[in-house]
Structure 1
Amino acid sequence: MAITVTVVDDHPAILSGVRAWYAEAATPIEVIAAGTTADVAWTPPGDQADVVVLDLNVGAGDAPYQRAVRRLVDADRKVIVYTMQDSEDVALTCLDLGVSAFLTKAEGREHLVAATISAVENRPYLPPTLAGAIAADLGPSQPRLSDREREVLTQWFQCESKQLVADRMNITPRTVDTYLDRVRVKYANVGRPAPTKAALLARAIQDGLVGLDDL
């Protein structure tokens, strides 16, 4: 069965290009709705797309993208931000809000397709450009993680579920949760909360805890 996508973008050329990229992908991906505002994503529950690809130039007023992202994420939608903005602050804000991935439009077809598949599989995705920018900004306050916490963290980034991590490491899913909770608490204690999987990956790359080769 094909992955379904709603694309929110105000540029016709981008919409056409994204449709073509998905149509050419080895994994079946179908754009079932497209429009210039996030309202297009609000279809009846049975008709909602698996993934929403969202440009940040939507809405009006102060920080309109934050409202659009928060509304979609709060409704348990998988959101990929696809934007011309390349600000690390904007990227981390979106990741903290709970998006599945943040891509700049310079990333192109390969990364948008890969990010879409990763979102459906519940895996975070950071393209090289953003990963490099995040890694270059070494935060002043890094949590001190144990070797076991790092191992669980890396395994979780590689897996679709905590059950798979548990199977790989011969531990229980509850133990996986315990380790991940400890990591989140440590990040919160140094003033760098990471409430989502994608946000935690961004923090881990920032701090050199994992690299792209680990994923």
Structure 2
Amino acid sequence: MITVMLVDDHEIVRAGFRRLLDNTDDISVIAEAATGEDAYSLYQEHSPDVVVMDLSMPPGVGGLEAIKRILAVAPEANILVLTVQECEPYPSRVLQAGAKGYLTKRCAPEELIDAVRKVYHGNEYVAPSIQKELDGKKASKLNLLTKRELQVFTQLAGGSSVAQIADSMFISQKTVHVHRSNILTKLELAKTSDLIHMAIRHGIVEA
């Protein structure tokens, strides 16, 4: 039996994935986490065969950081990312961090089941559309952003205020403004509304 831990901050999403995976003959969901912090601690408690990990989490430890923390204590961990993030630089950063697979939430139920099995058996699985982009598409302008700038970009695009971003990232509001200015310059954008439109086009946030 392949044991799985689900990591997603939406309970209804976890319930749907649990029902799907538990209905198979060879997969069983043994743990669920709603935050990156919980994912890290529950992994050590349950040692699941596969972790199905979302990237977008509440303020704190995000999906990418949770992946790094888990792999730091368990290099053998099989982590499959399942996210709404469809565009670079997310797939590259996740795979470089050591995840074994990358799926988007547009995938068919059968594809998720197949990916869990393949990752469990030591194979990588990347959604065909993502793999095509990784193989043939020029790097997105988002690759120009530093890790910190990408965090600010994502939160601005999601509607967070400068004060909220400063609090969640433990930096000053002045620093957030500096990051915002650098982001607009690197992406050749004029204002925050342009940034939001770009994020929607790249699937980073939903319209």
Q: TM-score under structure 2 normalisation?
A: 0.59
The Cα of 1:138 is off from its aligned counterpart by 6.1
- What whole-Å deviation, never above 9, does each CA across 1:191-210 have from its counterpart, x for those lacking one? xxxxxxxxxxxxxxxxxxxx
* Preserved contact between residue 36 and residue 62 of structure 2 (Cα < 8 Å): no
Whole-angstrom CA distance in 2 between matches of 1:71 and 1:106: 27
Note the residue ranges of structure 2 that are not aligned, 5 or more in a row.
Answer: 140-207
The Cα of 1:43 is off from its aligned counterpart by 3.5
**Secondary structure of the structure 2 residue equivalent to 1:88:** coil
* Preserved contact between residue 72 and residue 79 of structure 1 (Cα < 8 Å): no
The Cα of 1:66 is off from its aligned counterpart by 2.8
Match of 1:40 in 2: 38
The Cα of 1:30 is off from its aligned counterpart by 0.6
Note the residue ranges of structure 1 that are not aligned, 5 or more in a row.
Answer: 140-215
The Cα of 1:52 is off from its aligned counterpart by 1.0
Pairing 1:1-215 to 2, within 5 Å after superposition: 2-25=1-24, 27-41=25-39, 42-43=41-42, 45=44, 47-60=46-59, 64-74=62-72, 75-76=74-75, 77-137=77-137
* Preserved contact between residue 83 and residue 105 of structure 1 (Cα < 8 Å): yes
Whole-angstrom CA distance in 2 between matches of 1:64 and 1:33: 18
Match of 2:178 in 1: none
> What RMSD, in angstroms, separates the aligned Cα atoms of the two structures?
2.2
* Preserved contact between residue 71 and residue 98 of structure 2 (Cα < 8 Å): yes
**Secondary structure of the structure 2 residue equivalent to 1:7:** strand
Whole-angstrom CA distance in 1 between matches of 2:138 and 2:87: 16
Residues matched between the structures, number: 136
Runs of 4+ in 1 over 3 A off after TM superposition: 43-46
Paired residue type of 1:113: I
Whole-angstrom CA distance in 1 between matches of 2:31 and 2:97: 23
* Preserved contact between residue 59 and residue 65 of structure 1 (Cα < 8 Å): no
